[in-house]
Structure formats: C-alpha cells, structure tokens
C-alpha cells in the first residue's frame, strides 16, 4: 500500500518533470540565441507552406546558396567583433576569382598555384585595408569603401570587363563529393569551424574581443592593437578570396561583376547572428545561422513564387526584426 502510493507519486511525478526540464532546456537555448529560434520558426513555416522545401536536395541547395555569404560573413565576423567594418569583401571576392581564372587560363598556372595566388590577392587587399586603418588612421568605413571600388575596378581591368570561363579542373571545385555532398557546403563548414576555433581559442581571437570591447584598455594591457588589426583585415580579405573561388567554381566562370552587394549580405548575416556593430560581441555559430536565415528565406520565397522584388522587401524586414528582437531580449535579460 505504502509502496504503491510511493510509486504512483513518483511515477507521474518524474515523467512530466523530465519533460518540463527538457522543454526548459530547449526554451533556454532558443531564447539565448534569438537567431536560432528565428531559423527554426522559418524552417517550420516553410515546411508547412511548401512540400518541396524539406527535401534533402533542396536543403543541400540552401547550403550551397548560403555558402558564399557565410564564408564572406565569417571573415567579416572577425572585423565586426573587433569593432570595425569591412565593405570591400564583395569586390575582393570578385577580384580574387578573376585572378584565379586569369592565372589558370591566360597564364596556364596549375590549379593549386592559381588558388594560392587568388587567396594571396584577397589577403593582400585585406592587408592594405588594415594598413590604411592602423597606420593611416582612416576610419574602417572609408578605407574599405575605397577598397570596394579599387577591388572591383581591378577585377574589371584584369578581365577586360567580360567573364573568364574556368578550366574544368577549377570548376570541379563547385562539384559534389560522392555525387551528393556539394563542395561549397564542405568549404563553408570547414571555414566555420576554423572561425569558431580562431575566435574562441587563439590569442588572435581573444584579442579581437578585447580590442572590440575597449581598444584603449586592450592597448594599455599590452595587446599590439595595430598589428592585430592588420591580421584581422587580412583574414577578412583571405576569407573573401575563398568565397570568390567558391562562387566562381559554382558559376564555372569568374565574372568581374559577381558578388556585387554581397558585403551587405555578409554584414547582415553577422548582425542577425547576434554580433554587435559596436564590437566585442559575436560568434561563428551566430554568423552561420545568420547566413542560413538569409539563404532559407530566399530559397523559400522562390519556392512560394514570391517575386524577386518582394523578396527584397521581406529580407529587409527580417533583418530589422531579427536585430530588434535581439536588442529587446538583451534589454530584458
């Protein structure tokens, strides 16, 4: 009798208890990351609205579509965490892709060398940005705005204004692995992991947070702020180059006009992911989610046959809402 009551008491007591704890955990994870909950809601809604959305093929498509923005955005995350801004990543991506195509075709360099040269080009552009900011004392907005123009211009000069078709050996980079896993997705994941490790574990990453949080305090604590900034912008340039290569290999050609305006998508992804434009806050996972939200939205709106014009409107509203929600959440926390 007594044991029975005990059993009956504990039985129904523990089960809902465990369920409630699980629900609380899910709720906390979602609340702690506003962008993640937005992504979950978005995916759920699109799955209901369109039967074509939740298929492996389409999800891989979304991954491919997100890849370029995400890789650009990972690089921009470094810059934004350290309280800077990089407007040049779209142009630098196009320039790097053009350098890749030009060196692999006109100059006949082997693919690996052409890729190296392209990444070197992007990194060099970033170094110039960093030097202008650290030593020329230009505001990051101005320095990278100048590079936005220079990069695009150089891409047009090298390509003489027309797309360069990539040799098959290079466009293979846009193919799939094992016949189903797209290489751009693999590159995106690899770059994301690298970003996460760099930000969380390395001296460079930790000093980015310190510089973004309080540059003067960081300087007075012995962090070489100028040198770090050079590296930060160089990283952003290098990531942009990788994004440019991924984009070109997908299109099987390097187009000097490609990736125009992508810098704004990249910044949007970083900000939707919870980073603060005033610096000191931001994560690789957040940036990835931000890029996925943009890609899922575009993909979903296409599936629902929403016109491209209205898509722009919706994306703008989503950016504003995401950041607004995040701000509200922080204020109440």
Binding residues for other proteins (CB under 8 A): 201-204, 206-207, 209-210, 213-214, 216-224, 280-281
2-32 and 34-49 helices cross at what angle (nearest 10)?
Answer: 100
Residue 105, φ and ψ in degrees, nearest 5? -100, -70
Count of other CB atoms within 10 angstroms of residue 327: 12
Q: Whose Cβ is closer to other proteins: residue 162's or residue 278's? A: 278
CB 212 to other proteins: min, Å: 9
Both tokens assigned to 322: 């995401």
State the nearest-atom distance from the C-beta of 274 to other proteins, in Å. 13
Task: Using alpha carbons, list the distances in angstroms from residue 15 to 8, 9, 302.
Answer: 12, 11, 43
Which tokens belong to 42?
Answer: 């978005």
Q: Are 104 and 111 in contact (CB under 8 A)?
A: yes
State the DSSP H helix or E strand holding residue 141, giving kind and residue range, or none if neither.
helix 140-159
Strands 176-177 and 181-182: antiparallel
Looking at the Cβ atoms of 1 and 333, the one nearer to other proteins is 333
Report the residue number, 206 or 329, with the smaller CB distance to other proteins. 206
What is the residue whose two structure tokens read 């044991």? 3
Q: How far is the CB of 134 from other proteins (least distance, A)?
A: 15
Q: In DSSP terms, which residues pair with 164 in a beta bridge? A: 254
Q: Which is nearer to other proteins, 125 or 235 (CB)?
A: 235
Nearer to other proteins, 188 or 223 (CB): 223
Residue 199 Cβ vs other proteins, minimum distance, rounded to whole Å: 11
Q: How near is the Cβ of 279 to other proteins at its closest, in Å?
A: 9
């Amino acid at each position: 009798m007594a044991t029975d009551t005990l059993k009956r008491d504990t039985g129904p007591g523990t089960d809902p208890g465990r369920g409630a704890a699980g629900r609380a955990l899910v709720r906390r994870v979602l609340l702690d990351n506003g962008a993640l909950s937005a992504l979950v809601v978005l995916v759920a809604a699109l799955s209901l609205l369109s039967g074509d959305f939740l298929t492996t093929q389409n999800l891989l498509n979304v991954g491919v579509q997100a890849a370029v923005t995400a890789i650009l955005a990972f690089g921009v995350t470094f810059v934004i965490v350290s309280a800077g801004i990089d407007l040049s990543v779209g142009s630098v991506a196009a320039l790097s892709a053009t350098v890749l195509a030009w060196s692999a075709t006109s100059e006949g360099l082997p693919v690996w060398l052409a890729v190296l040269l392209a990444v070197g080009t992007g990194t060099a552009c970033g170094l110039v940005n960093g030097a202008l900011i650290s030593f020329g004392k230009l505001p990051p907005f101005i320095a990278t705005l100048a590079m936005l123009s220079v990069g695009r211009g150089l891409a047009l000069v090298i390509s003489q204004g027309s797309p360069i078709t990539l040799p098959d050996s290079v466009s293979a980079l846009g193919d799939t692995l094992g016949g189903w896993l797209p290489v751009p997705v693999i590159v995106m994941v690899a770059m994301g992991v690298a970003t996460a490790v760099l930000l969380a574990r390395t001296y460079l990453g930790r000093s980015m947070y310190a510089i973004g949080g309080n540059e003067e305090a960081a300087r007075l604590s012995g962090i070489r702020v100028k040198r770090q900034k050079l590296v930060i912008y160089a990283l952003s340039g290098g990531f942009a180059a990788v994004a440019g290569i991924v984009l070109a290999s997908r299109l099987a050609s390097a187009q000097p006009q490609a990736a125009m305006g992508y810098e704004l998508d990249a910044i949007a992804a970083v900000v939707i992911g919870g980073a603060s434009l005033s610096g000191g806050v931001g994560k690789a996972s957040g940036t990835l989610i931000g890029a996925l939200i943009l890609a899922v939205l575009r993909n979903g709106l296409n599936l629902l046959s929403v016109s491209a014009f209205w898509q722009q409107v919706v994306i703008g509203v989503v950016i504003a809402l995401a950041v607004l929600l995040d701000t509200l959440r922080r204020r109440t926390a």
